Chain A
Amino acid sequence: MKFLSALTIALSLVPLSARAQGKLNVITTTEDLASIAREVAGDRASIESLARGYQDPHYVEPKPSFILKLQKADVLVGVGRELELGWLPPLIQQSRNGRIQPGADGYLDASLHAEILEVPQGQITRAMGDVHPLGNPHYWLDPENGKRIAKDEAEKFAQLRPNDRAYFEQRLADFTTRLDAAQKRWLGMMAPYRGTKVVTYHRSFPNFARRFGLDIMGYVEPRPGIPPTPQHTLDLINEMKRQNVKLILVEPYFDLKTPNSIARATGGLVLVMPPSVGGVKDVTDYFKLFDYDIDLLINAIKKTTTSTGP
């Protein structure tokens, strides 16, 4: 009996003490933001992502179970640039959580200081497909932007838990140092292959391509969000043949039928290249994302150049 009541008291104290100690409850929309948040927050926060890395982040179902997660969140970190436009707003609205409403202290748009590419100039219309008027939202695929996201997250966490500011800042500095070193290594690995021409399914890799020197020659999608058409596929095959492009990068959530037929027609290679942490099983954090993608690319480039080379 005594044991039971002690247990009850202990259990009832757990959530209270967690809050009193200030363990932050962080919800992110994608696993990339969660991975970076883990680097920065260490054990001072519990961090969870709503979307899985192998899921198309444009089309996540706004499940009511997400509402329960958002209801308890101290911080919500989103990718922004309208990536989550189709599913996040109704979840935030129904979360009954004033802390994470847009504009509130607990809401962080991770794109605010990131370098954003492909911001459309001039008049844009939906005839261009599902264009993002605020620029390409797949910006996390550049380690430099990873550092910027980490800085914003650390600042946000420190703002909400001022007592832990030094801890977050120290972890941020450590993460930045490690990421700088890793980036140097990745750039070194990719250096011999700068200028390699590739085709990607969706426009998910502009930041990655720019940082690591890939030349994106075309897209399997005729326009963002529009599935491949026979005519476009034919044009793409011809252009790939003309420019001798061998690599087709496909995000894990797209159908491989068209990419495979393009590969057959051009003698190329289809790479299922995760744009996000969790996109494939082995990619469990932000560092492994680049490790995996760069390994995959280099192996494929070697393979295509030896098979078609002189």
Chain B
Amino acid sequence: MRSMRVVCASAVAAGLLMTGSPAAAQDAQALRQEIDQLRRDFETLKQQYGDRLTALEAKLAVAQGTPPAQPGAAQPTAPVPPGAEGAGGPTGALPVYGGAVSGSKVFNPDIAVIGDFLGAVGKNDLHPDPFGPGPFPSALQMHESEASFQAVVDPYARGDFFMSFGQEGVELEEGYVTFTSLPGGLLTKVGKIRGAFGKVNAMHNHVLPWTDRPLVTNNLVGGEDGISDAAISVARLIPNPWLFLEATGQVFRGDAGPEDQPLFRAAKRSDLSYVGHLRGYHDITENSNLDFGFSYAHGHNTSGEADIVERGRFTTSLSGVDATFRWRPLQRSIYHSFVGRTEWIWSRRDQPNGLQSGSGLYVSGDYQFARRWFAGARLDRSNRADDALLVDTGGSVVLTFWPSEFSQVRGQFRRTNYADAPSANEFLFQFQFSIGAHGAHPF
């Protein structure tokens, strides 16, 4: 019974096959044609989509400002924008890294960071922070990390920003626009500016020839913070046949010096402070020159604000004389040089208990005795601004080593004789290093 069924099924199947074979051949052919047609359609579609995709990619690249990549093409370059060339900026053609995104990078400012690490050994009862009147009795400190951003703003101006990341937080050390080509030969800066009072006040920490600032700066001119504030500054060259002469006038908001012991403090909008500076410069020979200046500053002090009761409006006037002698033989300029500098500062501080007339000075010399080595010494003497009867004196010897242009190691032995505290003998040391754009050398 079972075999019978199998035979029947086979017969049916064979019959089906027998009757289906000519029709199936036709069908297969049609099917193949259809498949071929489909394949062709698919290829066309693929081609179309591919083309459209390429076109889209090209459009996208154009929209993002870069040409579409071509096989075998060289590294794309971008021209330096007009105005960005030269003054610290790039020159020539700039490589474009990473394609589309970086077209805008050419406008980025020159960025550099300078790290300033300071350390102190020794005892100082009066100033536990060896580098200023601050409250930190720290032996080691990452004193400051200064980030600079500098670029040309437009054909008429350039912008400079210096952020100082200190132990107490972030501060804008300087940030200003300089109008480089105003009529009348005026060089105008607007922003937060270190005042042009003498030499040391205008210096950033990393260009100081010492690890610290002189006594007279700390006692009379507001220390490291100094006269530095929102300001408008105008400088003009005074034409004459003999020497370089530049007069600078600056108007400040009226706040200067550290928070707890300010030099100037504005209680009203009209409490502006003023700085005037006259700078002369003369080449004695091609190897030596003399740089000298007269400075004046005036602003309101806080002596009348004792115990929240305002007992009057009091002002402080500072006058100063500075002189710098430089010797650097041109042909051996990278090996030997000498810089001698001095500043004399007189302070007239009006207080409720009467006028305090003090003065102070430093004299310092630095000799470069090898390509990377400098030795220096400094003598200090200064009255206190608020008590002219007190006189602090001091002296330092300094040794500096430059592993390269971009780093510096410095040691300084400092003795300070305080009027109202035990003398302090300290050894101060510094590691300084800079990364990023190559800044201009200080002069």
Contacts and interface: CB of A to CB of B under 8 A. Distances in A.
Contacts of A104: 155
Contacts of A103: 81-86, 152, 155
Nearest to B87: A89
Interface string A240-260: 000000000000111100000
Given A97-B181, A102-B86, A59 B92 contact: no
B206 interface: no
Interface in B185-216: 185-187
B333 interface: yes
Interface stretch (A78-86, A141-149, A163-171, A180-188): A78-86
Contacts of A7: none
Nearest to B178: A93
Nearest to A60: B333
A65 B281 contact: yes
A81 B335 contact: no
Given A61-B328, A64-B291, A96-B180, A86 B440 contact: yes
Interface string B62-97: 000000000000000000011111111111100000
Interface in B380-423: 404-406
B2 interface: no
A52 B286 contact: yes
B69 to A, nearest CB: 19
B441 interface: yes
Contacts of B237: 67-68, 71, 96
Given A67-B244, A68-B244, A96-B187, A134 B283 contact: no
A87 interface: yes
Contacts of B83: 101-103
A86 to B, nearest CB: 5
Contacts of A85: 88, 438, 440
A126 B86 contact: no
B153 to A, nearest CB: 11
Interface in B412-443: 435, 438-441, 443
B440 A255 contact: no
Contact of B88 (A59, A65, A89, A96): A89
Contact of A134 (B84, B92, B279, B404): B92
Contact of B91 (A63, A64, A71, A81): A81
B333 A59 contact: yes
Interface stretch (A16-24, A39-47, A107-115, A291-299): A107-115
Contacts of A97: 181
B55 interface: no
Contacts of A213: none
Most chain B beta-carbon contacts within 10 A, residue among A64, A81, A82, A135: A64
B283 A56 contact: no
Nearest to A135: B92
Contacts of B404: 126, 129-130, 225-226
A30 to B, nearest CB: 13
Contacts of B89: 102
A104 B82 CA distance: 8
Interface in B220-241: 237
Contact of A54 (B282, B331, B372, B440): B331
A81 B328 CA distance: 26
Nearest to A51: B330
Most chain B beta-carbon contacts within 10 A, residue among A87, A89, A255: A89
Contacts of B334: 56, 59, 253-254
Contacts of B439: 86
B281 A111 contact: no
A52 B182 CA distance: 31
Nearest to B332: A253
B404 to A, nearest CB: 6
A203 B84 CA distance: 27
A109 B92 CA distance: 9
A233 interface: no
Contacts of A135: 92
B181 A111 contact: no
Contacts of B244: 64-65, 67-68
Contacts of A56: 333-334
A134 B90 contact: yes
B371 interface: yes
B14 to A, nearest CB: 76
Contacts of A267: none
Contacts of A134: 90-92
Given A64-B244, A65-B281, A88 B331 contact: no
A219 B289 CA distance: 34
Interface string B324-340: 00101011111100000
B11 to A, nearest CB: 81
A94 B158 CA distance: 11
Contact of B182 (A89, A96, A226): A96
A244 B441 CA distance: 40
A90 interface: yes
B281 A86 contact: no
Interface in A202-261: 225-227, 252-255
A16 B55 CA distance: 61
B84 to A, nearest CB: 7
Contacts of A54: 330-331
B438 A93 contact: no
Given A62-B440, A102-B89, A226-B404, A96 B332 contact: no
Contacts of B440: 62, 85-87, 89-90
Contacts of B84: 102-103
B246 interface: yes
Contacts of A82: 91, 438
Nearest to A252: B331
Interface string B168-185: 000000000010111001
Given A82-B438, A92-B86, 13 more contacts: A56-B334, A62-B440, A63-B289, A64-B279, A89-B86, A93-B178, A97-B181, A101-B180, A102-B83, A103-B81, A109-B85, A134-B90, A254-B334
8 nearest A-B residue pairs (beta carbon): A98-B181, A102-B86, A103-B83, A103-B82, A89-B87, A64-B281, A64-B244, A102-B85
15 contacts: A54-B331, A59-B334, A61-B443, A63-B443, A65-B282, A67-B244, A87-B440, A95-B180, A96-B181, A98-B156, A102-B85, A130-B404, A227-B371, A253-B332, A255-B371
Interface of A: 52, 54-56, 59-65, 67-68, 71, 78, 80-82, 85-90, 92-98, 101-104, 107, 109, 111-112, 116, 126, 129-130, 134-135, 225-227, 252-255
